A and B are shown apart, each in its own frame.
Chain A
Amino acid sequence: MPAADPSAIRILAEVVANCCEGGAHHRLTLRVPGWPGFAPGQFVMLSPGPVGAVPRSDPLLPRPMAVFREHADERGPCLEVLYKRSGRGTHLLAAAVAGESIALVGPLGSGFRAPSAPGAALLVAGGTGIASVFELARTLADERAVSVLLGARRAEDLMGEADFAELHVNLEIATEDGSRGTRGLVTDLLEKRLAAEPGATVYACGPTPMMQRCVEIAAAHGAACSVSLENNMACGFGVCLGCAAPRTSGGFALVCCDGPVFDGRDIVWSQLP
């Protein structure tokens, strides 16, 4: 991972593909000329809908999306985003067809840092947070043992499982209804693995209660735990001050530029919205 994360560009990206992968899950591939690369954990702001002289006004805000991974084809750099069709913004995103333009600002935020300790890495992800940790898993797997623990309510709520299966990682899955993998919470899987690998470093991205629990479990085992917060954002680059998260040391951090990755102990979890 590079010392400094690549800085942002704004560009009209071309939709290469935008496929439904079952249920509400979609995979968007964008061609992004001039894409500077990204650090695992960085994200982009996407504005689907009309671009140009009269821009879209409703829904107004762009949507932050983790960069799932990147590749290059004969026409240049492309990146992939996994998303769940849930609100108005993601419905609009799902309607974008190949050849259309989507305004993109990114890569944004400061990403994950490699573990300072030599041990294994345990990546815990749930919901759309799964997309944030794929590139982290891939890069860390080159240098150390990596376990990826994915959680979802039901089997059909899991996204990107097949992609993780192709990595050199130990993949474990928990669903609340037991329809895939172990029945129960993904944080239970973390408890077990951390007991087996005491020197491990924990990374977590997903629903707030899941991340909070991961931070508690890691602390109980004396392990470091980085989290990637998913916040509402208006700008994504530190100027609207809308994405504030309360800091343990007082005041607020900006999730879009101080994060989205934080040391789990630096966040006042009880005061998160």
Chain B
Amino acid sequence: MSADIDAVLEVDTRVDLAGIALRNPVLAASGTFGYGSEFAPFLDLRKIGGFVAKSLTLEPRVGNPPPRIAEAASGLLNSISLENVGVEAFIHEKLPAIPEGVVVVTSAFETEIDRYAEVCRRLTGVPRIAGIEINASCPHVKSGGIEFGQDPQVLRQLVRSVRRATTLPLLVKLSPNVTSIAEMARVCEGEGADGLSLINAVQALEVDVERRRPVLANGLGGLSGPAIRPIALRMVWQAAEAVKIPICGIGGIDSAQDAVKFLLCGASAVQVGTRNYLNPSAAQEIAEGMQAWAKGRGITRLADLVGTLEMPRR
């Protein structure tokens, strides 16, 4: 009898994110999932929507001196400074190690607009790469991320330039460290971005009172984890109100219910970040949990949840 109900109530978990077909809306966030294969012992990479690889620069990059991480209340502070293997090593060494059938989104980061575009050109046409996410939002690199994502004029030039450099589905990952996320979202939409990802880590500072110094060697860092979830929900909702292109919601997602909250606020898909470190099986558990959540409520299509939040109008 319950088997009958199961058969009737299959949940359609498929979503389209900016032209990338996903079997379910749960991806793993850039910088929290390595280059993918590190997680193969802990989950079935084909059971999650996909993952965004660590942000890539033209050349390999070494990160900041330690301490690079600090625990905060319900959060993690980091100043890794985008240590990565570089775009060529990713294409030739990391990508072939990822099992077939896994959706791989790449992330590009650079210090100048031309270099961003060059990273995008190198990624375009490489088999297996489903799309590019532009990390315009890294909150801890003095020369890079923050300026691109914080100034609407600079962001406009960046998106225009990378749009010309690639035919792949293009997501722009926005910084939360801005006054108006709606303005930044409109800039990206206007320049032809296919979708938006938000939010990146929130610029933050933790202090060692005895030493009267920042806890992180770099001084400032980026805050991630459950502490930023309500901020992320607010920004996703505001961005969704402002643009028509799809949104990938990120920030403190720990559970299936958290992921559903982002869908209600207008995200078509989500990315799990910090929780992957704490539970390397989390992304799959959340994907399966969303399906079970929907099933328990008679919801047959996860995509039907998108943007159905009833916000009181003033």
Contact = CB atoms under 8 A, between A and B. Distances in A.
Interface in B32-66: 32-34, 38-39, 41-42, 62-66
A59 interface: yes
Interface residues of A, number: 35
Contact of A244 (B65, B75, B281): B65
A179 B31 CA distance: 49
Nearest to B258: A54
B66 A272 contact: yes
Given A232-B67, A238-B34, A58 B74 contact: yes
Contacts of A58: 73-74, 226
Contact of B76 (A10, A234, A239, A243): A234
Contact of B278 (A47, A238, A251, A271): A47
Contacts of A273: 66-67, 217
A97 interface: no
A109 to B, nearest CB: 14
A219 interface: no
A101 to B, nearest CB: 13
Contacts of A243: 66, 68-69
A71 B75 CA distance: 36
The range of chain B's interface size is 35 or more
A62 B78 CA distance: 16
A178 to B, nearest CB: 29
Contacts of B63: 241, 244, 252
A185 interface: no
Contacts of B300: none
B78 to A, nearest CB: 6
Contacts of A232: 67, 69-71
The 7 closest A-B pairs by CB, nearest first: A242-B69, A235-B277, A239-B34, A57-B226, A273-B67, A58-B74, A57-B74
30 contacts: A8-B41, A10-B41, A10-B42, A10-B281, A55-B279, A57-B74, A58-B73, A60-B225, A60-B226, A61-B71, A105-B42, A232-B67, A232-B69, A232-B71, A234-B76, A234-B78, A235-B278, A237-B38, A239-B32, A240-B32, A242-B68, A242-B69, A243-B68, A244-B63, A244-B68, A246-B66, A252-B65, A271-B66, A273-B66, A273-B217
Interface of B: 32-34, 38-39, 41-42, 62-76, 78, 80, 83, 217, 225-226, 254-257, 274-281, 289
